Amino acid sequence: MSDRFSFLQDIAARVIPGEHHALLSLALGGGKHVRPWLAQRMCEELEIDPQPLWDAITGIELLHAASLVHDDIVDHDLTRRGNPNLPARVGVEQSVLYGDYLFLAALELFSQKKYPPSFAQMAVRVVKEMTHAQLMETQGKVDREEAYWKYAQGKTAELFGLCARIPLESSGMAHASAVAFAKTYGLAFQVADDLSEEKEEVCLQRFIGKEAAQQKFQSLLEELKRLDFIPVEELPFIGVEHAFSTGVQ
């Protein structure tokens, strides 16, 4: 974890007991921390001090970590980032409970008295959308392109949107383009991940083919440029070398 995000472990340790601290290394270690990066970059662009929001930003990353634990269970995966994942290490039964624990630890951070009640309310709505998207996949309802976009919106874009909503809510600002930018970035990130490797799980290429998926990715980049909030070249499209190497710039 880079020094810039060392606060994630420290803050998460306050809401996860010492006996479960090994979970923190698995949950927060080795990731790219795109969502904390986005939340802090949003604060910078909006001229908001991010430090008072570090607890909430940690909550966002814990929501993401919890979703990954449950994703691995649903997808029957045994590795994450090239290493044995939580189900491989402690079994499915404990992993389900640890995933739940991460969700609740995140909500505890959002629910602190120093934050407005809307923080926790927004987080709950995002978790519902993420869960609904996962149910769509497990129930076989992501069966065409239209359903894919609804799935991608809930699975990825809504949490990216929270990275903008939290700073805006903290300052009482209204900035629709900031939220639109964050959510569009989430969609682009999801499609880029789809393009980065051959995937057996739900991905856009399954419905429209690789070339058309690349074109959709390009359209999302153009939309990000049009929204003109954060320069596109700054956005960490982690793991999308394949997308860029095939002509998507």
Q: How far apart are CA 17 and CA 191, in angstroms?
A: 36
Query: 46 lies in which domain range?
Result: 3-245
Q: Is the pLDDT of residue 2 over 70?
A: no
Angle at 150 between CA 218 and CA 230, to 5 degrees: 45
Q: According to DSSP H, which parts of the chain are helical?
A: 6-15, 21-28, 34-46, 54-75, 86-90, 92-110, 117-138, 145-152, 158-171, 176-196, 205-208, 210-227, 241-245
172-217 per-position pLDDT tens digit: 988 889 999 999 999 999 999 898 876 677 899 999 999 999 999 9
Listed in sequence order, the residues at least 6 apart from 232 whose beta carbon sits closer than 8 Å to its beta carbon are 221, 224, 225
pTM of the model: 0.92
Count structural domains, the chain.
Answer: 1
Tokens of 163: 């990275």
Q: How far apart are CA 211 and CA 247, in angstroms?
A: 10
Q: Which CATH number goes with the domain that contains 90?
A: 1.10.600.10
pLDDT reported for residue 246: 38
Q: Please, what is the angle between helix 54-75 and helix 21-28, to 10°? A: 80
Q: Is the pLDDT of residue 249 over 50?
A: no
107-123 per-position pLDDT tens digit: 999 999 999 999 999 99
Tokens of 226: 């049009």
Distances (CA, A) of 247 to 45, 184, 187: 30, 20, 19
pLDDT reported for residue 239: 41
Q: How far apart are CA 213 and CA 227, in angstroms?
A: 21
